[in-house]
Amino acid sequence: MTSERQSLTREDLVHDLRRLGVEPGMTVLVHSSLSSLGWVEGGAETVIDALLEAVGPEGTVLVPTLTGTEEDGPEHPPRFDPATSPCWTGTIPETFRRREAAERSMHPTHSVAGIGNDTRTLIEGHAHVATPCAADSPYGRLADRGGRILLLGVTHESNTCLHMVEEQAHAPYHMQPEPCPCYIKREDGTWEEVVTGLHLWRWDRNFPKIDPLLTAAGAQKTGRVGQAESRLVDVGAMRDLLLPILGDDPLFLLSDEARAEYGSTAPV
């Protein structure tokens, strides 16, 4: 671990975020690994302050606050309380969602939390989308509204918007066959049933294979934030690049092994 003298401050992080291309007014969905940055003075709170400063008062920071599990389905309907359900996407999102200013979308498996101008527009109606990352979910709207994904010390393996691309391309392996009843806790303490499509966790992906394609198309910038290898991705450009590829090859985002197995069990 880096010594205390070399620890990162908010100013260091803002400087590196700007160098990577994060600009005032941007809307950025951040997938992160705190430990990858090197030692940060003040931990996750400092990283969140730096992200908010980098996008400025006109911008918006979103984090994935995912709660879905492999077991979710008709036998194990997900129950989601936006106020208390912890996310499994790391210390930065878990700290972020607890901030007073953060608003969390009402989705039983794929909620996001946001702070900033565009939050309401992005998260509105997430409870009632047909699939978790549909065109009218925060992930699809992010693409339509010129948003970016920031991968802070993580790879495209953590890029939830790739599920948005799979959903828009109707990737045949991606969803459970039938919508499932799920339960969301409302502010008045009652539980609302929503019937919605859930992901099937069965098939292994190779998301990092898109890295060179995005770089070549000018759809992402790479660089370091602290010690973390990071990427800033234009979500709309990524979607527009990948949809025709999945149109030609619906199994494109699967790992080679999954592709071979899926192809032998459920030919496209």
Ligand X SMILES: CC(C)(COP(=O)(O)OP(=O)(O)OC[C@H]1O[C@@H](n2cnc3c(N)ncnc32)[C@H](O)[C@@H]1OP(=O)(O)O)[C@@H](O)C(=O)NCCC(=O)NCCS
The C-alpha atoms of residue 224 and residue 6 are separated, in whole angstroms, by: 16
160 lines the binding site for ligand X (CB under 6 A): yes
155 lines the binding site for ligand X (CB under 6 A): no
* Identity of the residue, 25 or 227, whose beta carbon is nearer to ligand X in the bound complex: 227
Of 31, 32, 21, 89, the residue nearest 55 (C-alpha): 21
43 lines the binding site for ligand X (CB under 6 A): yes
* Identity of the residue, 20 or 66, whose beta carbon is nearer to ligand X in the bound complex: 66
206 lines the binding site for ligand X (CB under 6 A): no
36 lines the binding site for ligand X (CB under 6 A): yes
Per the structure block, which two tokens stand in for 198?
């859930």
Q: Which stretch binds ligand X (CB under 6 A): 34-42, 54-62, 170-178, 184-192?
A: 34-42
* Identity of the residue, 35 or 176, whose beta carbon is nearer to ligand X in the bound complex: 35
Selected binder of ligand X within 158, 168, 220, 230 (CB under 6 A): 158
CB distance 246 to 253 below 8 Å: yes
The C-alpha atoms of residue 253 and residue 138 are separated, in whole angstroms, by: 21
Binding site for ligand X (CB under 6 A): 31-37, 39-40, 43, 64, 66, 89-92, 154, 158, 160
